[in-house]
Amino acid sequence: MNLTELNRIATAMVAPGKGILAADESSGTIKKRFDAIGVESTEGNRRDYREMLFRSKEAMSQFISGVILYDETIWQDAKDGTPLVKLIEQSGAIPGIKVDEGTQALPMCPGELVTVGLDKLAERLKKYYERGARFAKWRAVIDIGSGIPSMTAISVNAHALARYAALCQAAQIVPIVEPEVLMDGDHDIDRCYEVTQRVLNKTFQELRVQRVALEGMVLKPNMAVSGKKCAKQASVEEVAEKTIRLLKACVPAAVPGIAFLSGGQSDEEATAHLNAMHKLGPLPWGLTFSYGRALQAAPQKAWLGKAENVAAGQSAFSHRARMNGLASKGEWQSSLEKKAA
């Protein structure tokens, strides 16, 4: 592997003022999103929707560093025959691909999941690289509940994440390592902190064991937040302070960057949290966003599956991308949201 090149791509993915668009919803997830706006989830509609995003000149060229694609999308062509991958490259962003194949129940661990997809991953990565993908994504899912997560679930998922990351680097692809501690549940922010700390420590232990070059990867973690059903929701300042403290304790400075998932936060919450973290002084790694829903909910509502709404959808996408771009430099203010509205 060429580590200099992997490091160059990883660094570009977390460039100041830019972040990653997660457009890798599985067919089931995008169907839910489309159902909510009354659009049938056909291959054509999915393509038209994503083409609208990738052709958003302002957002893509100024605020988006890379795009995570789903397997269907990476092979699709735009209406005029241009491969969607090419549209991303032409905007100056880097194409990436989600390579995990979802989760399965973890044997002997009731209520816990393990991510699958390592079989034949080496061959798939080769094809994706030829198609233009320069980074990949694998998501592990850790739930907090009564008696969980178990150390078994944390270990098994960390092991799979590291195996995936090593295979990516061998294929000259930058791995996004995504151990997501879910925010479902009624746990408080301190419980989230404690579980995320265990997950991150175990993940980096496995990455070292499997000889993954930390300089050639990007981490995609959850923030330290209260569970959705927790009666006491942590303030923006507390989320920022605890998340940064956690990351400084667990993430080696060799990692070029950290790109947060939004994980069910509202658009504005995800932006405000990222912004507040940048107020906490110099950080050892780049810190930005890799949002799916928090970048796309607004454009979906504006578009509604209608060709005449494409410009409105693009404008909504550009606004969210710009807000998060500002937040990734600590320059966002909530008054900027009101102006746009």
Catalytic residues: 178, 220
- CA distances (Å), 177 to each of 96, 137, 144, 243, in order? 13, 7, 20, 17
- The angle, 0 to 180 degrees and rounded to 10, between the axes of the packed helices 267-278 and 310-327 is 30
**Nearest residue to 295 (alpha-carbon basis) of 277, 328, 322:** 322
Q: How many CA atoms lie within 13 A of 43 on its CB side?
A: 9
Helices vs strands, H then E, count in the chain: 14, 10
Indicate the residue type of 140: A
**Nearest residue to 260 (alpha-carbon basis) of 188, 205, 196:** 196
Strand 64-69, strand 135-142: pairing: unpaired
Tokens found for residue 56: 């958003």
Beta-carbon neighbour count of residue 250 at 10 Å?
A: 18
